A = this chain, B = another copy of it.
Amino acid sequence: MATNTRERIVTTTAELFRRQGYNGTGLKQIVAGAAAPFGSVYHFFPGGKEQLGAEVIHVGGRFYQELVEAVWDAAPDAVSGVADVFAGAAETLRQTDYADACPIATVALEVASTNEVLRVATAEVFAAWIESAVERLSAAGIGRAKARELAIAIIALLEGAFVLSRATRTTEALEAAGATAVARVRDAILQGEGRAKP
């Protein structure tokens, strides 16, 4: 029961952060959404909203990473994997009325210059995402340095497309960003093969 309350608090907070950000989310709204007593936030998170925020960033980042990895790894190759990630993100946005996109981008922008604890938490999540994508691009035959450049570009495309798609309430940005990500991965794999067979 106690564990469930803690989980409900984290899950509710994650959804609120994703939709309205860190500053726009109050503890009252969190406990109401989690059907938890007000004191329970400080019981589980003595550091209050900041400690809860850091946990939500880490849990949300890990959850989203596993989701994206599952989609990517289910595809027959890296090019299809990247395409499926963008298509899946577009589908989720449509299904959630353009509310559910990246679990941490809103918070990341809000706190980057104002809260060092939370900024570091978002940086750690992005570092894990980059490493995950680098592994997969390297396994597809792309050299490590190029794989890192592409991994960062793919995540930037996804994050930027979320900003545009949520603002415009269309998935056109995710489709355009996905096309660019796919083209770059395909080119990098072809160039790798070109070097391998001179």
A interface residues (Cβ-Cβ under 8 A, vs B)? 19-24, 97-99, 105-106, 108-110, 112-114, 119, 122-123, 126-127, 148-150, 152-153, 155-164, 166-169, 172-173, 175-177, 179-180, 183-184, 187
Contact = CB atoms under 8 A, between A and B. Distances in A.
B109 A109 contact: yes
Nearest to A168: B123
Nearest to A183: B184
A61 B76 CA distance: 41
A60 to B, nearest CB: 14
Nearest to A172: B152
A172 B127 CA distance: 12
Contacts of A109: 21, 105-106, 109, 162-163, 166
A23 B17 CA distance: 12
A119 B44 CA distance: 35
A149 B167 CA distance: 17
A158 B177 CA distance: 11
